[in-house]
Chain A
Amino acid sequence: MQDWATDFDHTHPDYAAQATEIWDDLRARCPVAHSDRFGGVWLPTRHEDVAAIAHDTEHFSSEGVIVSPWKPEGLAPAGYAPPITSDPPFHAIARRLLLPAFSPASIARWEASARQSCQELIAELAGAGPVVDAAAEYTQHVPVRVIADMLGVPRSDGDKFRGFIHRILENPGGSVGNLAYEDTLDYYLRQVVADHRQNPRDDLIGFLIEAEMDGQKLTDDHIGGTVALLLIAGIDTTWSAIGASLWHLAQTPSDRARLVADPGLLPVAVEEFLRFYAPVTMARIVKEEVEVGGCTFKERDWVLLSFPSANRDPEVFEDADRFVIDRVRNRHSAFGLGIHRCLGSNLARMEMTVAIDEWMKAFPDFELADAGAVRWSTGQVRGPRQLPVRILQRGAE
């Protein structure tokens, strides 16, 4: 068996299947793993090291946030998808533009339509079963529909942009081959922005069309790039978080019973789902040589920022390896730390709360139908992609 401390591959299905055990093992004995893959990549596993890197924009650049053999160069400070790929000082300008649209008050506007989407998806499952795929038939669709509503495009476009995302995430930087331009994300974005210019409306694209940066309206390229970022960052991540929550509940009758008996516990439970099943690992590129946890990181090395591993560090969390549904002290970093804290964190929390709440109301009792058929994603966004569950009890209409 290979040693994960010196030759890990976070894109391998074996790693995905036992990621939490790997992190716990590395944290106890290593605690910074390294691999020569992808041109050299480090994996710190302690909360202290992950936090230090996330806060150190002097030595670490966000020019590259997805570890791949293709390493972005010369794109700082804006990067290819601002603000997630941006460094200071440009980062703050690009981020400030978006923050008001993602504040708790702004996100609350979308809760009713999110709830309606969940109810519609569940209604479609009402006649199905007793075995349904909670990932493919439910969690996958929730963020897609919410983002369609926020952008002001038809929910039926959801399938279309799920296709774009998969093409981008599964083949980053790759050729689009013989794809017709009319089938690309770029063409789609130009169409929807043009439509919003002709028929102004009060949604996120309308907001971006009206927004100004340094007294200037945004270009169509900037608007399109931001919308692309929202699609890419806002869908697989939240899908993963909701799916992992249902995976946990499917196997934990006592936690199902707690939520059924006390739905008011859900916001606290959501924070523990986020801690224990944090879906997102980000990356950085080393700007100048620096020491972390006793290891010397060289200029241009990749670094994986494993927030999921930081969330299981016993130095910061009591009973770190135990899921505690009513955990009171929970400083988890599922949404990252420092200036790049997930812009959509309020949106993600709202979607998780609504999606789990509606699921539990409709299906208060369920279990894994086939543990062997559950498939977890690989790479930097972690969550169940196939999740067959058997419905044991349906809620009252």
Chain B
Amino acid sequence: MKIILDNSKCEGHGRCYALAPELFDADDEGYSVLKITGEVPAGSEEHATLASANCPEFAITIED
């Protein structure tokens, strides 16, 4: 599983780093920063899916 974060769509709602703090972080202005590159670590797949399904801006997509 891979996560794609479209920074041009992120408006800093903060849902992803609340739901998946091991995958996303907030920058100083509250915009999302993806903490991983490549594959989602084993065990974090559910959090990755949650982050995507709760983004109001549809900025996070998951690729299997």
Residues of chain A having any CB pair with chain B under 8 Å:
96, 99-100, 102-105, 267, 271, 328-333, 335, 337-339, 341, 345-346
> Known contacts A328-B50, A332-B56, A333-B56: does B13 contact A103 (CB below 8 Å)?
no
B58 to chain A, nearest CB (A): 7
**Distance in angstroms between the alpha carbons of A333 and B53 in the assembled complex:** 13
B11 touches A99 (CB 8 A): no
Contacts of B53 in A (CB 8 A): 328-331
Known interface pairs A341-B11, A341-B12; A103-B30 also in contact (CB < 8 Å): yes
| B residues less than 8 Å from A99 (CB atoms) | 12, 28-30
Which B3-46 residues have C-beta < 8 A from chain A? 11-15, 17-18, 26, 28-30
Min CB distance A336 to B, Å, is 8
Asked if A335 and B29 make an inter-chain contact with CB atoms under 8 angstroms apart, the answer reads: no
Contacts A/B (CB < 8 Å), 25 sampled: A99-B12, A99-B28, A99-B30, A100-B28, A103-B26, A103-B28, A103-B29, A104-B18, A104-B26, A104-B30, A328-B50, A329-B54, A330-B54, A331-B55, A331-B56, A332-B56, A335-B13, A335-B56, A337-B57, A341-B11, A341-B12, A341-B13, A345-B13, A346-B14, A346-B30
Instruction: Beyond the given A99-B30, A102-B30, A328-B50, please list 19 additional residue pairs across the A-B interface where CB-CB is below 8 A.
Output: A99-B12, A100-B28, A103-B30, A104-B14, A104-B18, A104-B30, A105-B26, A267-B18, A271-B15, A271-B54, A330-B53, A331-B54, A331-B56, A335-B13, A337-B11, A337-B56, A338-B57, A345-B14, A346-B30
Interface size class of B (residues with CB under 8 A): 10 to 19
Most A C-beta atoms less than 10 A away, residue of B12, B17, B26, B54: B12
Considering residues B13, B17, B26, B53, which has the most beta carbons from chain A within 10 angstroms of its beta carbon? B13
Q: What's the least CB distance linking A49 to chain B, in Å?
A: 15
Max count, chain A CB within 10 A of own CB: residue among B11, B28, B54: B11
Q: Report the bound CA distance from A53 to B56 in whole Å.
A: 15
Which chain B residues lie closer than 8 Å to A338 at the CB level?
11, 57
Q: How distant is the Cα of A316 from the Cα of B36 in the complex, in angstroms?
A: 29
Q: Which chain B residues border A330 with CB–CB below 8 Å?
A: 53-54
How far is B26's CA from A47's CA once the two chains are assembled, in angstroms? 27
A residues within 8 A CB of B26? 103-105
**Chain B's nearest CB lies how many Å from the CB of A126?**
33
In the complex, the answer to whether A100 meets B29 with C-beta atoms within 8 Å is yes
Chain A residues contacting B54 (CB-CB under 8 Å) are 271, 329-331
> Which B residues touch A328, using CB under 8 A?
50, 53
Assembly CA distance A105 to B29 (angstroms): 10
Q: Could you tell me the distance between the alpha carbons of A105 and B22 in the complex, rounded to whole angstroms?
A: 16
Q: How far is the CB of B17 from chain A (nearest CB, A)?
A: 8
User: A105 — nearest CB in chain B belongs to which residue?
Assistant: B26
**Chain A residues within 8 Å of B50, by CB:** 328
B53 to chain A: closest residue by CB:
A329
Contacts of B30 in A (CB 8 A): 99, 102-104, 346
Question: Which 3 residue pairs are nearest across A and B when measured between Cβ atoms?
Answer: A99-B29, A329-B53, A341-B11
**How many Å from the CB of B43 to the closest CB on chain A?**
18
Write the chain A residue with the least CB distance to B11: A341
Q: Note all chain A residues with C-beta closer than 8 A to B12.
A: 99, 341
Measured CB to CB, the closest approach of chain A to B54, in angstroms, equals 6
State the Cβ distance, A247 to closest chain B Cβ, in Å. 24
- Closest Cβ of chain A to B47, distance in Å, is 12
Q: Which chain A residue shows the least CB distance to B27?
A: A103
